[in-house]
Amino acid sequence: MTTFLGMPATAPRGVGQLRGDRTFPQAAHAALGDAQLRRNLRHATATIRSRSGRVIAELPDWQQLRAAGSALKADVMARLPQLLQQLEARVSEAGGVVHWAADAHEANAIVTDLVRRTGSDRVIKVKSMATQEIGLNEALEAAGITPVETDLAELIVQLGDDRPSHILVPAIHRNRSEIRDIFRRSMPGVDPDLTDDPPVLAAAARKYLRETFLSTTVAVSGANFAVAETGTLAVVESEGNGRMCLTLPDTLITVMGLEKVVPTWADLEVFLQLLPRSSTGERMNPYTSMWTGVTPGDGPQNFHLVLLDNGRSAVLADPVGRQALHCIRCSACLNVCPVYERTGGHAYGSVYPGPIGAVLSPQLTGVADNASLPYASSLCGACFDACPVKIDIPSLLVHLRNRAPHPRAERAMMRAAAYLMDRPRAYARAQRAAKLARIAGRRGRGLPPPLSGWTAGRDLPPLPEQTFRDWWARRARAAEEA
C-alpha cells in the first residue's frame, strides 16, 4: 500500500462548473453595471446578516463551538483515509452501497449507470453543491434522463435557464417580479394570471412539483454530514423537498465530497449548532433528515453513496490550503463580503462563489485555471470573522496569490485596486486589512508577490497608526456621544 501515486489530480476541465469562461475582473465588470442585481443582492445579504447576528448572539458559547468545529475539521482531514473506510463499512453494513469517484466524469458515469439500471428516465434532485460541481444535470440530460430540481431556488434557476449565484439561495439575484416572469414563461400548466406575491409563487411551485414527487422512483441528493462511526447521512433543508426526495423514491443516490465526513455521532452537536445559525440565521433549519443505510418498510429500499474526490485530494496535499476543505457551505462568508455584494456569484465563474469560492475553486482546478480568483477580495477579513469553522480565508488568498501565474494576476490586482478606490466603504475595509497584512506580512515592510519585486528595492510608506478614516469616524462618534 505504499504505491507512489504522484501529484493528486485536480478536477478535470470540460466538465462541471468550477471554471468561468472569463476572468473575475472581466465578469465582475459586467455585474457592476447591473443595478437591479446589486439591489437584489444588497437586500438579501443584509437581511441574512442581521438575522444571523441575532441568533448567534443567543448562544453564550458561540466562540467555543467555532473552536471545536475548526479543530474537528482539522482532525477529520488528518484522519481522512481511516474515517472514509469506517464510513464505507458502516454504510455497507446498514444495507447501502458505496462507490468511489476519482473525478467528475467518473461520478457522473456512476450516477447515470445507477439511474439507468432502475429503468427510470427522470430523477428528482435535492439541492446539492457536489452535483452542481460535477455538472450532473448536463450528464444526465446527455444520457436521456431528465433531472428535476426540487428546491424552489434551484427550480427558479433551472426554469430560467440560469446559473446559481449563491450557495444557499441560488436565485438570490432574482426579485419577485423576475421570478414571476420565469414561472409564467417556463412552468408547464402555470396560471397565466400569477401574481408576484411570494406565497402565490411558492404555491405554484408546490402544485407543479407534487405530481413529480409522487411519480418519480429515483432521487439524487448531496449530504451535509456523514458520520463515520454510525454510517449516518444528514441533509439539512427548509422546504420539505429534501424530505420528499429522501423518503418517497425507491432508490436514493447521494453524491458527497470526501471532506463531509465527521468522526462521531456526538460531533453533530457542534455542526448542527453552527450551520443553521450562520447559514440562514435560524436557530434550526425547518427540516433535517438523517438516515443510515436502508430501513425496511420506510423510505428508499436502495441506497447508493458516491464518495467524490474531484480535486479534493489535491487541496488536501497543500498543508496551508487544505483548510478550505473544512467548509460546511453555510455561505456566511458570501453574505459579509463587500466584493460579493457588488459583483454577485456569477462573476466567480464557479459554483462556489464568494470568499470560499475564491480559495476553493482555484485549488480544486489548479491555480493556473482560476488565477484571478485569489484577487477577488479586498482582504478585509470579514469572511474569517463570519466563518463558523474559522477558515482563515484572507491568509489563504495571500497564499494562493503567491502560487498564481504573475503577469495575469498583477493585472487583476491593479484592476481590483482601481475598483476599490472607487468604492469608499470597501476601501475603508481594505485599509484595515492592509494593517493586518502588515502584521502578518513579510517583516511588515514589503507587499506579497507579485508586487514584492517592487518593494524589494524600496520601503512602503509606513501606514499611520490611525488612518484618516478611522480618525474621522472616531471623531464623529465622540461628537455624537458628547
Partner 1 sequence: MSSRELILGRVRAALRDRPRPGPVPREYRRTFPAADLDLLVDRLVDYRAEVHRVGEADIAATVARIVTGAVLVPEGLPAAWRPAGAVVDDRLAPDRIAAAAAVLTAAAVAVAETGTIVLDASPDQGRRIISLLPDVHVVVLRPAQVVASVSQALARLDPARPLTWISGPSATSDIELNRVEGVHGPRHLHVLLLDR
Binding residues for ligand SF4, rule: CB under 6 A, are: 327-333, 356, 386-389, 391
First to last CA, the chain: 72
Minimum distance from residue 346 beta carbon to ligand SF4 (Å): 17
Strand partners, 98: 305
- DSSP conformation letters of 295-308: BTTBS-SEEEEEEE
The interface partner of residue 151, options being partner 1, ligand SF4, none and the CB cut-off 5 to 8 Å by kind, is: partner 1
Partner touching 389 among ligand SF4, partner 1, none, CB below 5 to 8 Å by kind: ligand SF4
Among 30, 32, 74, 417, binds partner 1 (CB under 8 A): 74
Instruction: State whether the Cα torsion 355-363-394-405 is positive or negative.
Output: negative
Q: Decide if residue 280 touches partner 1 (CB under 8 A).
A: yes
Binding to partner 1, residues 295-314 (CB under 8 A) = 295, 297-299, 307, 309, 313-314
Binding partner of residue 328 among ligand SF4, partner 1, none, CB under 5 to 8 Å per kind?
ligand SF4
Query: Considering only 202-210, 326-334, 387-395, 469-477, which stretch makes contact with partner 1 by CB under 8 A?
Result: 202-210
- What is the x/- site pattern for partner 1, positions 109-148, by CB under 8 A? ----------------------------------------
Which residue, 314 or 358, has its beta carbon nearer to partner 1? 314
Q: Among 17, 23, 40, 372, which residue sits at the site for partner 1 (rule: CB under 8 A)? A: 40
Which of 69, 338 has the CB closer to partner 1?
A: 69
DSSP per position, 389-432: T---HHHHHHHHHHHS-HHHHHHHHHHHHHHHHT-HHHHHHHHH
**Contacted by 387, from partner 1, ligand SF4, none: CB < 5 to 8 Å by type:** ligand SF4
CB of 180 vs partner 1, minimal distance in Å: 9
Distance in angstroms (rounded) separating the CA atoms of residues 159 and 61: 42
Say which residues have a Cβ less than 8 Å from residue 285's Cβ, sequence separation at least 6. Answer: 236, 237, 238, 275, 276, 279
Nearer to partner 1, 191 or 269 (CB): 269
Phi, psi angles (nearest 5°) of residue 179: -65, -45
Q: How far is Cα of residue 159 from the mean position of the Cα atoms in its chain?
A: 21
Judged by CB under 8 A, does residue 175 bind partner 1?
yes
Provide CB contacts within 8 A for 258, sequence distance 6+: 80, 84, 307, 308, 309, 312, 313
Q: Which is nearer to ligand SF4, 141 or 385 (CB)?
A: 385
The item of ligand SF4, partner 1, none sharing an interface with residue 386, based on CB under 5 to 8 Å by kind, is ligand SF4
* Residue 201 in the binding site for partner 1 (CB under 8 A): yes
Distance CA(382)–CA(428), nearest Å, equals 12
391 binds, among ligand SF4, partner 1, none (CB under 5 to 8 A by kind): ligand SF4
Instruction: Using alpha carbons, list the distances in angstroms from residue 215 to 128, 156, 207, 461, 475.
Output: 21, 21, 14, 68, 66
Q: How much helix, strand and coil, in percent to the nearest 5, is found in the chain?
A: 55, 10, 35
- 42 phi, psi to nearest 5 deg: -60, -45
Q: Provide the minimum distance between the beta carbon of 38 and ligand SF4 in the complex, in angstroms, as a whole number.
A: 21
Cβ nearer to ligand SF4, comparing 152 with 386: 386
Shortest distance, position 326 Cβ to ligand SF4, whole Å: 7
Judge whether 265 and 40 are in contact, CB under 8 Å.
Answer: no
User: Binds 356, which of partner 1, ligand SF4, none (CB < 5 to 8 A, cut-off by type)?
Assistant: ligand SF4
275: which 3 cell numbers? 450551520
- Report how far residue 259's alpha carbon sits from residue 309's, in angstroms, rounded to the nearest whole number: 9
**Given the rule CB under 8 A, which of 2-10, 380-388, 417-425, 431-439 is the region that contacts partner 1?**
2-10
Distance CA 271, CA 436 (A): 29
